[in-house]
Structure 1
Amino acid sequence: MPTEPTEPTGPATRPADSTAPAAPARTARTARTARPNPAAQSAQMPDRPAAGSPDGQPSGIPAEIPDGLRQLVAAMPYAERLGLTLEEASADRVRGTLDWAEDLCTLGGVLHGGVLMSLADTVGAVCAYLNLPAGASTATVESKSNLFRAVRSGTVRATAGPLHVGRSLIVVQTSLEDDRGRAVAHTVQTQTVQIPTAQARTVPASGPAR
């Protein structure tokens, strides 16, 4: 016994209806402009050099210019409140330190794990910032930390370097050590590359030059 045919479902398979009125023609979509962010404008990082230099010298702020390093920390009030100090900052390597303090500890006089992760995240974010194309900004979207050793005194030293510098993402790894050079923690974080809409059209597909 023949069965009654069923009508296909879904817009991709539905046959055209010759009696239906034609859909109005689409108008060209106007380009969206980025809205200014007052909070971001009030916390601008200091001007930095281009990601590379013609003479092949390392980019970033060299350690012999302490005012530039202090400006980087001052642009991040949380890092400044923790007492973080930058010793070196370039696109290839960023080094910072944080002294043990009682008010940064958890039980037993141990430096809080969140403080260690904050140190790593901040130093890593500066490294990502120095790898950005001019005019772009960045934010942490993922961070993974391994904590190896408790810190009960002295100074923690952080060293960050890029694992990947791409068009939309920058991945940075940061190692933390104590005064005796022993591994304290290791962090890998991913940072977005946020380029203003008008400027994004001029960035090559291969990403920002390093």
Structure 2
Amino acid sequence: MSDRPTRSLDEMPPPSNFSEHLGIQVTKCVPEEVVCRMIVTEEMANRNGVLHGGALMTLADTAAGTCAFINSPVDISNTTVEAKTNFIRPARVGDTLTARCEALHVGRATLVLQVTIARDDGKTVGVTSQTHLFLGWKD
């Protein structure tokens, strides 16, 4: 991890309207790990009656974005420059999913993050890798 000061949890911006719409909750947020949970509802199902891949990716992106923020140096933002998801098994309506994000690399310019999403039975539903780029905003 960088020796630059990072952000504290109280600096975290409010969740996006979209993640709130999906009912995503951040249950743990420390630089080493972010955990998010989401209950699969009928509205999230695809035409096959299981969780839509876009909803799964939104859960992963929320966990990764939160982890990137908490690991970002003060006065620096970040953006996703690469995201890849492996869909391993389905999640059904009523399942509760837990996304655990770990920062694999926190460098001077980039972060590499891995999110593992599991059902309540402990079986992995998907794994997402993301690369984020630190950005200094200029007005």
Task: Give TM-score scaled by structure 2 length.
Answer: 0.88
Structure 2 unpaired stretches of 5+: none
Q: Which has the higher contact order (CA 8 A, sep 6+)?
A: 2
1:108 Cα deviation (Å)? 3.0
Q: Distance in 2 between matches of 1:72 and 1:97?
A: 17
Distance of aligned partners of 1:87 and 1:73 in 2 relative to their CA distance in 1, 3 Å threshold: farther
SS in structure 2 opposite 1:98?
Answer: strand
**Greater gyration radius:** 1
- Match in the other structure for 2:91: 151
SS in structure 1 opposite 2:58?
Answer: helix
For 1:34-113, list aligned pairs within 5 A: 50-51=5-6, 60-61=8-9, 72=12, 74-113=14-53
**Percent identical residues:** 33
**Aligned residue pairs: how many?**
133
1:196 Cα deviation (Å)? 4.1
Structure 1 unpaired stretches of 5+: 1-49, 52-58, 62-67, 198-210
- Match in the other structure for 2:114: 173
Distance of aligned partners of 1:60 and 1:91 in 2 relative to their CA distance in 1, 3 Å threshold: farther
Supply the RMSD in Å over aligned alpha carbons: 1.8
Amino acid paired to 1:194: L
1:75 Cα deviation (Å)? 3.5
Q: Deviations over 1:133-184 (max 9, x none)?
A: 1001111110010000101132010000101111111110000000101011
- Match in the other structure for 2:134: 193
Q: Distance in 2 between matches of 1:145 and 1:187?
A: 4
Amino acid paired to 1:173: Q
Q: Distance in 1 between matches of 2:114 and 2:80?
A: 13
Contact 2:102 2:113 in 1 (8 A): yes
1:74 Cα deviation (Å)? 3.1
Aligned with residue 71 of structure 2, among 111, 131, 144 = 131
Task: Give TM-score scaled by structure 1 length.
Answer: 0.59
Contact 1:160 1:174 in 2 (8 A): yes
Amino acid paired to 1:169: T
